[in-house]
Structure 1
C-alpha cells in the first residue's frame, strides 16, 4: 500500500496550479471551473434507445410467453 501523495502543483492543467494563478477563486462565473463534474451531468450514461419487451399470448390456452432477449430499438413497427 502506497501513501497518498500531494497533488503536483506544476503539472499542466493542475487544479493546484490554477488556484495559485488565481483561477477557480472568488465569486461569479469561473469559466470551466464553474462546470460540475461530468458524472453530475443529467444525460451521462443515458441510453437513447429502449430494449424491446415482447410478450406472446397463446390463443388457445391464453398463456403468455416472453421473448428471451430484447433488442435495442428506438421504434418498432408491426404490419
Structure 2
C-alpha cells in the first residue's frame, strides 16, 4: 500500500509541475540588432544597454569620446532619439 501511495504522490507532483518555458520575444528586435542600429549611427563603445517598454536604450561613447544615448524602437528598429 505504501508503494502505491508514494507512486501516486509522485505522479501527482509531476503532473502539477509546470514546464519551464523560454521567454519568447515574438517579433521584437534582439539586443544585438539594436546594437547594430546604434553603431550604424556612430556609437563606438557601449557602457549600458536596457530594454524599457518597447525600446532599447543604449548608452556609450562616439568616436570622439562624447557621451551618447540611442533609443531604438524594439518593434521596427527605428531610431527614436539620440542624446549627446
Question: Considering only CA atoms, is the larger Rg found in Structure 1 or Structure 2?
Answer: 1
Compute the TM-score of the two structures, normalised by the length of structure 1: 0.30
Q: Which has the higher strand share?
A: 2
Compute the TM-score of the two structures, normalised by the length of structure 2: 0.29
Q: Which has the higher helix share?
A: 2
Identify which of structures 1 and 2 has the higher relative contact order when contacts are C-alpha pairs closer than 8 Å and 6+ apart.
Answer: 2
